[in-house]
Amino acid sequence: MNPINQEVSNFTGQVAVVSGASRNPSIGRSAAFQLGLKGASVVINAREAAPLERTEADMREAGIEVVSIPGSIGDDGISERVADAAISNFGSLDLLVNTVGGSLTRTSATTLKRSDLLATLELNTWGPLALIQAALNVGLEDGGGSVVNISSGTVNKTTPTMAAYAAAKSALNALTRTLARELAPRGVRVN
């Protein structure tokens, strides 16, 4: 391994928040484990408490410092609780990984209900933004910070019955690009 990869792979002394971290297997759970195994203290979040608690127990068994906060990050107060947990348990917040998301409905765009579209946007777009805002409020930008938003290949291809999900992830991509420009002067990387 070259020195550049070694440096990037070391998260010792850093604090990460990972949303969508409960399902096994999932991108969020894998990201949380890898960050923890590479030295980060990790706050994990997911909507369902039971699988989140299993992930927390598995991470502790692997020797990772971890705290779990259940709840949907788009719901009032949950994102703030998640970000606050990083500060109260580990003293800082350096990295935010938003992997939360999913398709709540599989229907044609021609029959898509407004409520289904809004619920999918809430989960895939508003939730990650709410967590980014909460992280900034507790000091993600102090000394620089990083945000990684996980999107989907669905935005680059047309998939019948996936209109709501594709729209929501497309919105997340646009939001990510906008935040990258807005937060760069403050020392925060957003990808």
Q: Is 23 exposed, middle or buried (0-12, 13-18, 19+ CB in 10 A)?
A: middle
Terminal Cα distance for the chain, rounded: 24
Q: Which two tokens stand for residue 111?
A: 């029959």
Task: Say how far apart CA 172 and CA 150 lie, in whole Å.
Answer: 9
Strand locations in 54-191 (E)? 66-70, 95-98, 145-149, 188-190
Is residue 164 annotated as a catalytic residue, yes or no?
no
| DSSP-derived 3-state class of residue 108 | coil
Fill in the DSSP letter of residue 42.
E
Nearest-CA neighbor of 189 among 97, 122, 101? Answer: 97
Residue from 165, 168, 172, 183 carrying the catalytic annotation: 165
Find all residues with CB under 8 Å of 149, minimum gap 6, and list them: 98, 128, 172, 175, 176, 190, 191
Which residues are catalytically annotated? 165
